[in-house]
Every structure is written in C-alpha cells, then in structure tokens.
Structure 1
Amino acid sequence: MPHTDVYKRDIYKNSCLAFKTVTDDFRSTWHAHPEFEIVYIESGFGCLHYGKQQHIYQKGDIFVLGPWVPHEFLEKSKNHHSISLLFNNDFIIPGFLDCELAQEIKAFLNKARMGLVFNAKMEQSETDIIKLVLSQSGLDRAIHLLFLLRKFSEQPVSQVLSNTPEEQCCSKTFAKLQDILAFIHKNAYRKLLLDEVATQFYMSRNHLSRFFTENTGFSFSQYLLKLRIERASELLLKSTKPITHVSEESGFDSISSFNRSFLREKGLSPREFRKQLKNT
C-alpha cells in the first residue's frame, strides 16, 4: 500500500495503529505525531531525517521514534517494504506504565523519546513479533506489542538518534510548522521568497528563519532547494521532458542554476542522472 499521512490519522488512546508500506516510489512527508512509532525496514535503503539529525538506513533496521519529533524517510533504492506501529503510553489501559510490573518498559520508552535504532543483527524473534502485531487486532495486538517492547528493553541499542529530547515539538509548534511546510510544498515550484512566507504567517523574516531552522534542521533556502531537486529527479526519471522544461517545472529560474545545484546535490548532472537511471 502507498504511504499514508500518519499525522492526519486519529489513533485512539487504547489502541495501536499498524500498517505495511510496499512501494517503489516511497517518500514520507515531514511530519510528527503524539504517538511513539516503531518502523521495521523489510527491504530498501535511504535516509531518515529525525529532528535535526540524519541516519542512513538499510534492510533489517528497526527504529523506535519518540512522540512529537518531526521526521521523514527518503527512500533511495526504489524497493521500499516497511512495517509501522504507532501507539501511545496508554495503549493497554490508562496509567499502566506507572505500575511496578511495567517499569522496564516505561524506562525503555523514556529512552526511546530520543529515537533508537536496532540494526539488522537483531534476533529474528523481534521482527517476527512486529509481523504478529501487524496481523493481529484488539487485545492480541496490544499483548504482542507489550511483549515486543519488553524484548526491546533487553536488547542493546545500536544508535541513539538524538542526544537530548529537546527536538520534540509541542503540538502548537508542530501545527504552525505543518501549516508553513504545507504552504512551501504547495508553492515550491514557482518563485518563492522567505519574505512572502513570513508575510503569509504574520511573522518577521528573522523570526520565521529562526523558527524554521530550529524545527526542521534546515534553512528555508536549503529546504526549498531539497524539494526542487527531488521534484526534478522525479521528472527526469518518469518523463521524457527536455531538461530545460524539467528545470522550469522544478522552480529554477535558469538552466545554469539548475545544472549547478543538481550536480552539487546529486553528484551528477541532470543529463547524466537521467541516463544512469534509465540504464539500471
């Protein structure tokens, strides 16, 4: 199934959302949500942006992501298979994590707020449990998720994604960020200046610039360029449009600027990039 915008879904407190993504053209939007998220990469490789950090992922990696931390997965292999599990503290019953029997899981989830990575060398049993959580529903799903978290708490972590949980957005900050990002995504492929975005959201240019960088890890110009290069890459791969048309439709004001930016970001000229991908 194609990726769904998770942050638009309602997840009840006493439940766990589980879904599988299988696609050759995967790109999640920059988003956050109040739930923890477990993502198991069954196949494919790419880059996870998590708060201000980046992590190259590969087949077999398992991520446990904290609530309200903006993130996105950028698939590079054109062969993405993953399983995602979303849940909050009260996925069993309210206050469950405060009881004595759940202290190990509570400690694990407190650590997971900073983002954790388990690598492909993890025991097969953990990935089997993730698949079980996906296939079950109701109480059975909750029980298997509980068992999975207990197993995680006993395993060595290969990497902590963030040194502090300070990258987490409060819901109000994230709502504003989502509105700004939606506006940028909608208008990225025309002439778009920071001043226009600042005016749109009743912010000063400097305030918006600081807000944007603090909450995405990118400057406004870096993020805009990133969107335009990815749009150009998609057009080069999926269409036969002349490179000058690709440049214009991706928001670049000149072919020379496009060629220079694309070469710097991708390590290949647009022509070389198209030729290489068509031959693979």
Structure 2
Amino acid sequence: MAALSDYVSFGDPAKLYIEYMKRTEPYTMTIDHFHPYYEVYYLLSGSRIYFIEDRSYFVEQGDLVFIGKEMLHRTMQTGDARHERLILHFSDEWLRDLGAELSGMFGALFSPEIRVLRLPRQESLAAEASVRAMRLEADVRETGYHLAIRNAAASLLLLCGRYSASHQPEPFQHVSPLHAKISEIVRYINGHYDESLRLADLSERFFISPHYLSRMFKEVTGFAFTDYVVLTRVKEAQRLLRESELTVSAVAERVGFDNFSHFGKTFKKISSVSPREYRKSMSQF
C-alpha cells in the first residue's frame, strides 16, 4: 500500500465531514472560529492547548475534545510542534438520521461538563481504531468508503456516549493559575458583551496592568482582547438574527455596538454576509 497522505478530508459539514492532518511545523489557529455544527477533535499524537468558550484545556495523545455549535474555540501549540489530529464535523440532521435514541446520547457529549474526554486504555484503543479507519477510508477511497466513514464516526460517538453515560466526568483543572484568572475575565466578557468593554477598565477591575492583561489574554486564549470582544458580540448578533424579530439596528445595539455602520462592516467581515443577508439565509431552514 502506498504511504498515506499527511492531509485528507471528506464530506460536508452540513451533514458529516472529517479532516485529518499531520503537522511538523509550529501552528496556532489564526482564523476566528465558531460554526453552526458540532465538532469532535481527536489528537492522535502530540499535545495542544485548546481554548473553548471561557477555558483552556491541556490536550494530549488519545484525548477527544467536544465542541458544541456556535462555541468560540481555538487550538494552540504547547511544547513540541509536531502533532496529528482528526476532526469530525456533523449537523443535527446527521444526528437525527442515526435515530432519536442515539441522537440524544450524542447530544449529551456536548454538555458543559464534558469538553475533553480521556478514555481508559481499552476504550481508548477502540476510539483510535475508529479514527484511523476514518482516515484510511478517506485517503484510499475504496468502494463503499462513504458508508465505512459514516459507520466509523457513529461507532466513535457511540463508544464515547456509552462511556460518558456510565462515568462521572473528571473534575476540571486549570492549566495554571494564570489560565484560571484569564478564564474569569473571559466569563466576565461573555456576560457583559453588551456593555462598554475597554482593556483599561478590565485591567482595573481584575487588578492586572493593561499591558500584561493584553499579552496574557492572547497567550492563554489565542485571541487578541479586542478581537475576542468583537467575535463574542457578532456571535450573539447571529443568534438574535436567527431567533428573534428584532430589527438589525436593535440587534446591533443589543450586542454592544454603538455605531450601526461599524456593526454592519464588522458583521460582514466575520460572517462573510451582511446582517440582513444572514437573517434571510437562516430563514430558509
């Protein structure tokens, strides 16, 4: 058999999508990342720091990371740059196709209590076998590979769902006291995005110098302070455009933008469409 590729992808995030990648050079996600589908991240080798919503997690070989819809997240390097991972994206539609019982079990994996799942050896070996089967099928693409990938993805989620249903999640521990402090600041931003959020004000509130706060915020979360605030506001604006009948200008004000023109430009830069276009596209579902 020919050597397998260092990068391979298959499918559509609107239903089911997988992507495998092996990296040997330093890498930190540079795109602003949240999306309307679920993500499972499996680390085959190496170690990473994974920031999700308001916390940073240390992820090592064999760990699974569960990221719900519209959750802001980013991976960052820690230690050796070399790592390989497979990500699995899927939609509510794909879950429903598996059946109501399984859909409910899988949905529970994306609760706040389960962000990183570290399985014992027997289950970990089975999980890795499913992940490597998906990678192989997507790369070689023999007859029936679509079905093989679907079955391997369902098997992985079933394994994780059964394990998490019968075991208490491990208590969360911050990577360091600094991570705990930044997490506290992020939770404040998440709860006050509709207010004025200046770096100087937060540095005073949390007793950290503005320069140090700016530098450590980026180091821990992967986001610049201002970028994180803007992304949080746009993410909430998207939710309001989908779920409410508020006017676009009212949405802008509700999420903390005091300039409507700036809101429109910022929203389009992040979402690739204007607020009105976004609302129209969402109304079709």
**TM-score, normalising length: structure 2:** 0.53
Equivalent residue for 1:38, pick from 59, 64, 72: 64
Distance 2:232 2:59 in 1: 27
Matching residue of 2:205: 200
**In structure 1, C-alpha distance between the alignment counterparts of 2:92 and 2:53, rounded to whole Å:** 17
Instruction: Tell me which of 75, 81, 93 is aligned to 1:50.
Output: 75
From the superposition, tell whether residues 136 and 267 of structure 1 become closer, same or farther in structure 2 (CA, over 3 Å). closer
Are 1:171 and 2:176 matched, yes or no?
yes
Aligned equivalent of 2:155? 128
Summarize the Cα distance change of 1:130–1:34 in structure 2 as closer, same or farther, 3 Å threshold: same
Query: 2:75, 2:222 within 8 Å by CA — same for their partners in 1?
Result: no
Percent identical pairs in the alignment equals 24
Taking the aligned partners of 1:132 and 1:58, their CA distance within structure 2 comes to: 15
**Does the 8 A contact of 1:52 with 1:215 survive in 2?**
no
Cα deviations by residue, 1:158-188 (Å, 9 ceiling, x for unpaired): xxxxxxxxxx973312211211111111211
Query: 1:31 is aligned with what amino acid?
Result: R
Q: What is the one-letter code of the residue matched to 2:56?
A: A
> Is residue 180 from structure 1 mapped to residue 185 from structure 2 by the alignment?
yes
Distance in structure 2 (CA, Å) of the matches to 1:199 and 1:245: 30
- Alpha-carbon distance, 1:273 to partner: 0.9
The TM-score normalised by the length of structure 1 is 0.54
* Cα distance in 1 between the residues matched to 2:258 and 2:197: 11
Q: Distance in 1 between matches of 2:94 and 2:256?
A: 28
Q: Distance in 2 between matches of 1:228 and 1:30?
A: 15
Give the whole-Å Cα distance in 2 for the aligned partners of 1:40 and 1:226: 20
Q: 2:257–2:263: 8 Å Cα contact kept in structure 1?
A: yes
Aligned residues: 192
Gaps spanning 5+ residues in structure 1: where?
1-23, 61-76, 93-101, 106-111, 142-167
1:32 aligned partner, one-letter code: S
Please say if residues 169 and 215 of structure 1, whose CA atoms lie closer than 8 Å, have aligned partners that are also in contact.
Answer: no
**For 1:229, what is the secondary structure of its paired residue?**
helix
SS of residue paired to 2:207: coil
Would the alpha carbon gap of residues 196 and 220 (structure 1) be closer, same or farther in structure 2, given more than 3 Å must change?
same
State the shift of 1:236 in Å.
Answer: 0.5
Work out the CA distance in 2 between the residues paired with 1:267 and 1:278. Answer: 17
- Residue identity in the other structure for 1:274: R
Partner Cα separation in structure 1 for residue 270 and residue 235 of structure 2: 10
**Corresponding position: 1:253 with 2:258:** yes
The answer to whether the 8 A contact 1:194-1:205 is kept is yes
Q: CA deviation at 1:203?
A: 1.0
SS of alignment partner, residue 32 of structure 1: strand
The answer to whether 1:226 aligns with 2:231 is yes
Q: Do the aligned partners of residues 203 and 50 (structure 1) sit closer, same or farther apart at CA in structure 2, a change above 3 Å counting?
A: same
Q: RMSD of aligned C-alpha atoms?
A: 4.5
Question: Whole-Å Cα distance in 1 between the matches of residues 152 and 204 of structure 2?
Answer: 53
Structure 2 stretches of 5 or more lacking a match?
Answer: 1-35, 40-51, 79-84, 96-105, 137-147, 168-172
Distance in 1, Cα, partners of 2:75 & 2:229: 18
Q: Any idea what SS the aligned residue of 2:203 has?
A: helix
Q: Conserved in 1, the CA contact under 8 Å of 2:133 and 2:152?
A: no
Within 5 A, what are the aligned runs for 1:54-203? 57-59=87-89, 82=106, 83=109, 86=116, 120-121=134-135, 128=155, 131-132=158-159, 134-135=161-162, 170-203=175-208
